[in-house]
Amino acid sequence: MNIALVGYGKMGKAIESIALASGHTVTTKVNSENPIETADFQDVDVAIEFSVPHLALKHIHFFLDHDIPCVIGTTGWNKDLEQVTHKAKQLNRSFLYASNFSIGVNLFFKLNEQLTSLMSQHPSYHASLEEIHHTQKLDAPSGTAITLAEGIVSTSDRYTNWFCPQDHNSIKSDSSLVIEALREPDVPGTHTVNYTSPIDTITIKHEAHNRSGFATGAVVAAEWLLHKKGVFTMRDVLNLK
């Protein structure tokens, strides 16, 4: 499989290492020195995009316009997801996105929903979220934390939205689920869900040790997407219903 890497920072280099070890070829690398408009996509089977939020949407539209199957790992652009999904379906393109490509995190998403279903029967417990990432991460809260929060909000009757003190666009209400977004040096990603009552606390936690899990999941997603048409997520890749 010929892969284009769009964004060639730490994640792009980690994905390249996994892709080459898996027998694939990286034919194109897009970065500030080789922008997407001038890059050669002629022999590309799939593009894997891990760049920055303010460029991601432009890259996505480029892939859709040029019929290049794409795996999108950048977060922070999801306010435009409905528009992008509509365009991908209308043009019959191949588009796969996720807030996190780690296989472990996606299993954690499912565990989070199952725990929420159990805890909704016990009103003395109050949920909260905490995420910790490296100081270079630009968006807060993380896309992973938002996915966890949406899993709780959609499963529980108690919470109607999420609120993050570090996100000036979020609005707090009495029924808000609180996300604390912390930034510390050299933290690949840690997400914790707490259910606290007056007598005890139940906690589930996912801690990434390095970027390899994200890179591996992105390559697995690209392999899965090849020769498919439609809009997909890691739930489809992992068959998590």
Q: What is the DSSP string of 87-107?
A: HHHHHT-EEEE-S---HHHHH
Exactly one of 24, 59, 133, 191 is catalytic; name it: 133
159 vs 141: CA distance, rounded Å: 17
**Helix 212-225 vs helix 103-119: angle between axes, to the nearest 10 degrees?**
100
Exactly one of 24, 59, 137, 191 is catalytic; name it: 137
145 token code pair: 């934390």
Rg (the chain; Cα; Å): 18
Q: To the nearest 5 percent, what fractions of the chain are helix, strand and coil? A: 35, 25, 40
34 vs 7: CA distance, rounded Å: 10
Q: In what order do the strands lie in the sheet with 25-30?
A: 25-30, 2-6, 46-49, 70-72, 94-97, 230-232
Tell me if 53 sits within 8 A of 138, measured CB to CB.
yes
> In the annotation, is 137 catalytic?
yes
Positive or negative, the CA dihedral 50, 65, 46, 30 is negative
> In the annotation, is 13 catalytic?
no
Residues belonging to the active site: 133, 137
